[in-house]
Structure 1
């Protein structure tokens, strides 16, 4: 079979190459892949892993061999799931615990966009507890995780403020449920104090956003796109007693979560029209460079997907 791997010459130009067929563990199903999504984390790994390394976490496809231990969906089931960094291939072995069946009507492209971004947003917000009647600020709101977080927070009864890097990146956020959408420069001057901050940016954006968090608020960080040290005001705790700060790493979180069930919840929301994965760039997996460049250059407001 063929799969996308890190280039043999150490560059960034990715092309399909021949790799061995997957050899599943007893708790894994083999899925014939129909679509995968591209996350910024995939691009980071592209420059870090040795030549010939497999890539990709988000997968949507059809089970062609059910897990031998009887867990998970049967053969023929349309599914989405989280791979073990080898999802960008024609077939992949996936843990049955990380798979969820696709409801009728969910397209391959939407299904592939949900797993990593959707679970990250879901778990970040769950760290904050009940959101009903609370104010939530999402930074990096133009990305795949951010756009899903805005929708989930609003659906949970929160008033949502969304920050992004430019007016262009803010497009569509109001339609997704943000009561207020602002650039990083304008946000501190227009955003009311918040109960919950979900941050993926770091640096000065995090510092500015943190100063809007009230007493006993919750701060969840899941990324640092500026690659800057986090900086807190000198009175960060004294002025905001009871504030809880948490870093969320999805792949550390998943062993403690019912991933398949949670992914199923997100996919049902997609099927019901209550969650839009915001797929805005689709390309062919046999020529992935345009999609990889779009994600790397931050030209994608939402999610990018490769179809097989």
Structure 2
């Protein structure tokens, strides 16, 4: 099969080559990939730091061409959306059936390929916060791929949503996705009404400021670190006496929280097909142009998700 493999001598660390077809285990289905999506973590870290010769990629949508031998998962011919730690950027992919969501027939699989990491992280991070109906939820890095899904799902869940972005030009877009309030100056977070939950996607000073905005018994879910900064909490920030107390910080990584993920992907795909969840596809091209697309995403010039079509 043809695949994009990591080649540190090639532009963008990627080369389109021919490699052996994957051999599914009994609990895996073989998928013919139609489209995959790019994530910030891939273009910043997974590809530049990856092992030469390997096929990268987390998100892919396609069609089952061989059902799992153990009888689990979708049958032959089913359109699906998939996630795994690697292997998405190829014509064929073997995936554990627990990590496969089904997609209605006739769906454009390009936008669906954006769902696993970005929408899956958004959904499960919100679950970690707990009930959000009528509560205030803060989203840092709200203009990124995960952030845009988080705004939509939090609003759908009945939350009052506060979006944090460093780019004032994104204000109207974020309001359209469900944000009730927009914060563009990080220092002003200390003045907002306390929030019940935070989906934190930036790290560094954003995490420190977002934690300070938590109400008593609030939960901050750290689901991204796009800033590349470490966190330094000032003395007293984590005190309980005389302050809002029992404020939690939870770390999150999607593939370490994969139980039931296939069902979540099926639900997210159905929402998308019904027009109730907008993947915000801002760039779409074929895989011969993946290096250019990855550079655009890495340079933060893509306002939404990037989709790559194989055929």
Structure 2 matches for 1:288-307, cutoff 5 A?
Answer: 288-307=290-309
Q: Give SS of 1:69's match.
A: coil
Q: Verify the 8 A CA contact 2:81 2:103 in the aligned structure 1.
A: yes
Q: Which residue of 2 aligns with 1:205?
A: 206
Matched, 1:23 2:27: no
Question: CA shift at 1:114, angstroms?
Answer: 0.3
Instruction: Report the Cα distance in structure 2 between the residues aligned to 1:48 and 1:170, rounded to whole angstroms.
Output: 34
Q: Which residue of 2 aligns with 1:272?
A: 274
Q: Verify the 8 A CA contact 1:15 1:286 in the aligned structure 2.
A: no
Matched, 1:132 2:133: yes
Question: CA shift at 1:3, angstroms?
Answer: 0.4
Structure 2 unaligned residues grouped into runs of 5+ = none
Structure 2 matches for 1:142-181, cutoff 5 A?
Answer: 142-181=143-182
Structure 2 matches for 1:1-308, cutoff 5 A?
Answer: 1-9=1-9, 12-43=12-43, 44-104=45-105, 106-185=107-186, 187-188=188-189, 191-235=192-236, 236-238=238-240, 239-254=243-258, 257-308=259-310
The alpha-carbon distance between structure 1 residues 166 and 186, as it changes in their structure 2 partners (threshold 3 A), is farther
Q: Verify the 8 A CA contact 1:8 1:52 in the aligned structure 2.
A: no
Question: CA shift at 1:126, angstroms?
Answer: 0.3
Instruction: Report the Cα distance in structure 2 between the residues aligned to 1:106 and 1:170, rounded to whole angstroms.
Output: 31
Which is further off, 28-37 or 197-206?
197-206
Q: Verify the 8 A CA contact 2:187 2:209 in the aligned structure 1.
A: no
The count of aligned residue pairs is 306
Normalised by the length of structure 1, the TM-score is 0.95
Question: CA shift at 1:139, angstroms?
Answer: 0.2
The alpha-carbon distance between structure 1 residues 293 and 170, as it changes in their structure 2 partners (threshold 3 A), is farther
RMSD: 1.6
Normalised by the length of structure 2, the TM-score is 0.94
